[in-house]
C-alpha cells in the first residue's frame, strides 16, 4: 500500500473490539485503531468513557488506500457490522459510548456519508428509524494499548466468545465470499 495515498475515516458502531477486528481484515485497510471521539475531555480513559459522562463514543479510526477499497465499501461494512436503528446501544451494550456515529472531515465527506445512510436504508437490512449521527470530526484519542487487537489476543474471553466471535464469523463469511478479505 502506498502510504502517501491513504485516507482516513472515523466512526462508531458499538463496541470497538469487533469493529476494529473486522476492518483490519479488509484488503486496502492499512490499520484500524480503537479509540474515542466526540467527547469533551482530553485523553479520556476507557473507564471514564464507560461512565457516559465524557461524551465520547467508542470508535475506530481507519487508514485505507482508496485505490484498493472505496469509502462506499467501508460504509457497506460499517452498516453490516452494527444496527444503526438502536439508539445509544448495540445489543446488550448500552450507553452513549456505543452510539452509531460517522465523523466527517468536510462537506464532501458528509454528503458521501448521507448517501451511504440512504443506501443502507434502501437495502432493507435494518428495520426501523436510523439514528446514526453525522458529526464533524474534531479529535481522535487512541484507546489504551490493551484494546488494540483485543479480540485477536482474547478470543476466549466470555464477551469475545459470546458476542464478538459470532459477529466476526458472519462478517468473514459474507465479505470473504465477496473477495474483500486479506489472505489469512
Tens digit of each residue's pLDDT (9 = 90 or more) over 21-80:
999 999 999 999 999 999 999 999 999 999 999 999 999 999 999 999 999 999 999 999
* Structure confidence at residue 183 (pLDDT): 83
CATH topology for 7-178 is 3.30.1060
* Structure confidence at residue 4 (pLDDT): 78
Residue closest to 37 by CA, chosen among 152, 153, 133: 133
Tens digit of each residue's pLDDT (9 = 90 or more) over 124-142:
999 999 999 999 999 999 9
Mean pLDDT rounded to a whole number for the chain: 95
CB hemisphere CA count around 28 (13 angstroms): 16
CB hemisphere CA count around 159 (13 angstroms): 10
* Structure confidence at residue 2 (pLDDT): 63
**pLDDT at 1 exceeding the cut of 90:** no
Tens digit of each residue's pLDDT (9 = 90 or more) over 149-162:
999 999 999 999 99
Q: How far apart (Å, rounded) are the C-alpha atoms in residues 44 and 35? A: 9
Q: Give the active site residues.
A: 15
* Structure confidence at residue 184 (pLDDT): 65
pLDDT above 70 covers a percentage of the chain that reads 98
Tens digit of each residue's pLDDT (9 = 90 or more) over 26-39:
999 999 999 999 99
Amino acid at each position: 500500500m502506498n502510504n502517501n495515498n491513504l485516507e482516513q475515516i472515523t466512526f462508531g458502531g458499538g463496541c470497538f473490539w469487533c469493529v476494529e477486528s473486522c476492518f483490519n481484515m479488509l484488503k486496502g485497510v492499512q490499520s484500524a485503531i480503537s479509540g474515542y471521539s466526540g467527547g469533551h475531555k482530553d485523553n479520556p480513559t476507557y473507564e471514564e468513557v464507560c461512565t457516559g459522562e465524557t461524551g465520547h463514543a467508542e470508535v475506530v479510526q481507519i487508514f485505507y488506500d482508496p485505490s484498493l477499497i472505496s469509502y462506499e465499501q467501508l460504509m457497506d461494512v460499517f452498516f453490516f457490522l452494527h444496527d444503526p436503528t438502536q439508539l445509544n446501544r448495540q445489543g446488550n451494550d448500552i450507553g452513549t459510548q456505543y452510539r452509531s456515529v460517522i465523523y466527517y472531515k468536510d462537506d464532501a465527506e458528509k454528503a458521501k456519508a448521507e448517501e451511504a445512510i440512504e443506501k443502507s436504508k434502501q437495502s432493507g437490512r435494518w428495520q426501523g428509524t436510523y439514528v446514526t449521527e453525522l458529526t464533524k470530526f474534531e479529535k481522535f484519542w487512541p484507546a489504551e494499548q490493551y484494546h488494540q487487537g483485543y479480540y485477536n489476543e482474547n478470543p476466549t474471553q466470555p464477551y469475545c466468545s459470546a458476542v464478538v466471535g459470532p459477529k466476526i464469523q458472519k462478517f468473514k463469511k459474507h465479505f470473504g465470499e465477496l473477495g474483500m478479505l486479506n489472505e489469512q
